[in-house]
Amino acid sequence: MGGKGKGARGKLIVLEGVDGAGTTTQKAKIVEWLRERGEHVHGTNEPSDGPIGAMIRQILRGRLVASTGEGKASPIDPAAVALLFAADRLDHVKNEILPALERGYHVVCDRYVVSSLAYQGLDTDLRFVRQINDKALAPDLTIFIDVPADIAMARIEATRVGRDSFEKLAIQKRVAQAYKEILADWRGGRVITVDGTAPIHTVTRDVRQALESLLG
């Protein structure tokens, strides 16, 4: 961040999509474009770079596991993982997102509450996931980058060495379906869907159009 923001509070803009949809790439493009427009902008992501986010990343990579007490490793309970994501979010909002917004910075966040609903809702009660995310600040705009699971998975296979625990085609198909269902009756602020199968610059153009209508 750095520098002094403008008087008005910034907007919270969230990017969502299955793994490989391009949310991280588009976050970087938006941050760059907003800066070029002379806006104050802070780019961030979830899991966050805070302490709970660091723990979550270890869990996703299978480097942090529970133990049954008989020397056997056992995955961390999915409801506990859902709680960690929700806790990370509240910490992220309090210590990073809100201070930036209040200083007049727009915050562009790669993943937020809808990720928890789409991913943790797969093996945890969706009502529980909604409930524990109830206190998270509502975004001003959520941009859903729509890419079918098989295309997104092919991108991951072509570009990444390691895999997070969710990066398997069968899971991504369920995540893609969950995103559709959750966003169909979403009441947590404005949502815009863009076609993420187009070339990167076309997706960026569509995302920019969505933002122009928000920022004026």
Scan for tokens 């007049």, then name that residue: 104
Q: Residue 122, class by beta-carbon neighbours within 10 Å (0-12 exposed, 13-18 middle, 19+ buried)? A: middle
* Number of shown-chain residues binding ligand TMP (CB under 6 A): 13
Residue 39 or 191 with smaller CB distance to ligand TMP = 191
Task: Pick out residues in 7-66 that bind ligand TMP (CB under 6 A).
Answer: 19, 46-47, 60
Does residue 91 belong to the site contacting ligand TMP (CB under 6 A)?
no
Helix (H, G, I), strand (E, B) or coil at 10: coil
Q: Residue 136 Cβ, how far from ligand TMP at the closest point, in Å?
A: 10
Asked if 116 touches ligand TMP (CB under 6 A), the answer is yes
- The one among 148, 166, 190, 192 contacting ligand TMP by CB under 6 A: 166
20: left (phi over 0), alpha (psi -120 to 50) or beta: left
Q: Residue 111 interacts with ligand TMP (CB under 6 A)?
A: yes
CB nearer to ligand TMP: pick between 98 and 215: 98
Residues of span 120-139 touching ligand TMP by CB under 6 A: 120
Burial, 68: exposed, middle or buried (Cβ in 10 Å; 0-12, 13-18, 19+)? exposed
Please identify the residue of the shown chain whose CB is closest to the bound ligand TMP: 119
115 binds ligand TMP (CB under 6 A): yes
- How far apart (Å, rounded) are the C-alpha atoms in residues 103 and 86? 24
- Smallest distance from ligand TMP to CB 50, Å: 12
The tokens 């269902």 sit on which residue? 181
CB 16 within 8 Å of CB 214: no
SS3 percent helix, strand, coil of the chain, rounded to 5, is: 50, 15, 35
What residues make contact with ligand TMP under the rule CB under 6 A?
19, 46-47, 60, 85, 110-111, 115-116, 119-120, 164, 166
